[in-house]
C-alpha cells in the first residue's frame, strides 16, 4: 500500500445508490471528508443508514485515524458539491446518455486538476468523456465491485483523451485506500472482470433454461468447486497447477483440443417469462425467509475473513507483488 495522497482531502460522490454508498463508506473509513450529491430527497437518509450498517465491518478491517461518519455531508446542488472537490467518484445509473451529461457537467464545475472517476461497469471511457468541453483528459473509469467497502479490486481504464498521469495518480489514490487497482491496458466494453462474470452468467442461464440444474445447484457447483480455488489463484494459476509438474504446458497438450468441443454456448438465451420465473423463484427458494440485511452481514463477514486468508496464503495475489 502506498502513502495516501495528501493533496486529496475532500471527495465528492455523485450518485448514492448501492455502489455510491459503498464508495462513501470506504472513503469515510479512510479518513476523508465526503460530500455526496444526489437529486433524490431520500438519498441522504438511505446513505447514512447504509454507512451506519457497514461501519462495524470497517472498524473490524481497521479505520484511519480521525475517520468518522460525521465527515459525510450532502449537497443536492451539483455545482456547489464540486467547488472544493479534490477527487470525484461518479455513480449515476448505467445509462449512457445520463452518464455522459452528468460527467460533462462535473467537468464544467470541478476544479481543473480534479480526477473524474466513473464507476461504470461497461461503458467505454472515451464515450464518457466525449461531451467534456474543459478537461476530458482527467476522466477515467474506476470500476469497483460490490460491496465496494470490502472488495478491493478496482479496474482503472483511460479513454482516448485521458492523460496517463491521471491514471497513475488514481492508481496511487486507490492503493492508499487499501484497494487493488488494476490498470486495464486498453478500453473494452465490460472491462475485464465483468466480461468473465458475464460468460459464467450466460452459461448459468442456459443450464437453468434447459432444465439441467436449478439456480441452487448451479451456485453449489461454484461454491464447492472452482470458486474455492478462484478466490486464491484465478483461472490461469488454477489450470497451471492442474497440469502437474509441467504445469500449463502439459495441461494445454492434454486438454487444449477440448476447447474446440461445443461445451459452452456463450450467447445468452432469450430471457423469456418462463426463464425469468425459474431464476427468480429459484433464488427466492435459496434465501427463504432470511432478510437481505442478514444475508449482507453474512457475506461481509465472509469477505473479511476470506481476504485475511488470501493475504496469509497467497501474498502474490497482490497485483504489484510476486509469488
Query: Using alpha carbons only, what angle is made at residue 49 by residues 289 and 117, rounded to the nearest 5 degrees?
Result: 110
**Would you call 106 helix, strand, or coil by DSSP?**
helix
What is the set of domains in the chain, with CATH numbers?
A: 10-183 (3.40.50.720), 193-288 (1.10.1040.10)
Q: Which of 87, 77, 73 is nearest to 35 (CA)?
A: 73
Residue-wise pLDDT for 70-107, tens only, equals 999 999 999 999 999 999 999 999 999 999 999 999 99
Of 108, 164, 102, nearest to 137 by C-alpha is 164
Beta strands in 159-312 (DSSP E): 180-183
Strands 72-74 and 180-183: unpaired
Q: Checking DSSP bridges between strand 87-90 and strand 115-118, what pairing results, if any?
A: parallel
Number of H helices, E strands in the chain: 13, 8
pLDDT of residue 243: 79
Q: Write out pLDDT tens, residues 100-142.
A: 999 999 999 999 999 999 999 999 999 999 999 999 999 999 9
Q: Are 238 and 306 in contact (CB under 8 A)?
A: no
Neighbour-count burial of 245, counting CB atoms closer than 10 A to its CB (0-12 exposed, 13-18 middle, 19+ buried): exposed
Give the pTM. 0.87
- The pLDDT tens digits for 263-318 are 777 787 787 888 878 777 877 787 788 887 887 888 888 888 888 887 777 655 55
Q: Which residue has the cell 461445443?
A: 262
Amino acid at each position: 500500500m502506498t502513502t495516501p495522497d495528501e493533496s486529496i482531502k475532500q471527495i465528492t460522490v455523485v450518485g448514492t445508490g448501492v455502489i455510491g454508498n459503498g464508495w462513501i463508506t470506504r472513503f469515510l473509513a479512510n479518513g476523508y471528508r465526503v460530500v455526496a450529491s444526489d437529486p433524490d430527497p431520500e438519498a441522504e437518509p438511505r446513505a447514512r443508514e447504509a454507512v451506519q450498517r457497514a461501519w462495524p465491518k470497517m472498524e473490524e478491517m481497521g479505520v484511519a485515524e480521525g475517520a468518522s461518519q460525521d465527515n459525510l455531508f450532502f449537497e443536492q446542488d451539483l455545482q456547489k458539491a464540486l467547488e472544493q472537490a479534490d477527487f470525484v467518484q461518479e455513480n449515476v445509473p448505467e445509462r449512457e446518455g445520463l452518464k455522459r451529461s452528468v460527467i460533462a457537467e462535473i467537468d464544467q464545475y470541478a476544479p481543473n486538476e480534479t480526477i473524474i472517476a466513473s464507476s461504470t461497469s461497461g461503458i467505454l471511457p472515451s464515450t464518457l468523456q466525449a461531451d467534456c468541453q474543459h478537461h476530458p483528459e482527467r476522466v477515467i473509469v474506476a470500476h469497483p465491485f460490490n460491496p465496494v467497502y470490502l472488495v478491493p479490486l478496482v479496474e482503472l481504464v483511460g479513454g482516448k483523451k485521458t492523460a496517463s498521469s491521471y491514471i497513475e495518480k488514481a492508481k496511487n489514490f486507490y492503493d492508499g485506500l487499501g484497494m487493488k487497482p488494476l490498470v486495464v491496458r486498453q478500453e473494452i466494453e465490460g472491462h475485464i472482470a465483468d466480461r468473465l462474470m458475464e460468460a459464467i452468467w450466460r452459461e448459468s442461464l442456459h443450464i437453468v433454461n434447459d432444465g439441467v440444474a436449478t439456480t441452487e445447484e448451479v451456485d453449489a457447483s461454484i461454491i464447492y468447486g472452482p470458486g474455492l480455488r478462484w478466490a486464491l489463484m484465478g483461472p490461469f494459476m488454477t489450470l497451471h497447477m492442474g497440469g502437474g509438474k509441467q504445469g500449463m504446458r502439459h495441461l494445454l497438450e492434454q486438454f487444449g483440443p477440448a476447447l474446440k468441443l461445443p461445451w459452452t454456448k456463450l450467447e445468452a438465451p432469450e430471457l423469456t417469462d418462463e426463464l425469468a420465473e425459474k431464476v427468480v423463484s429459484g433464488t427466492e427458494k435459496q434465501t427463504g425467509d432470511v432478510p437481505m440485511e442478514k444475508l449482507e452481514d453474512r457475506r461481509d463477514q465472509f469477505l473479511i475473513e476470506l481476504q485475511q486468508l488470501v493475504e496469509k496464503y497467497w501474498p502474490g495475489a497482490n497485483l504489484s507483488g510476486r509469488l
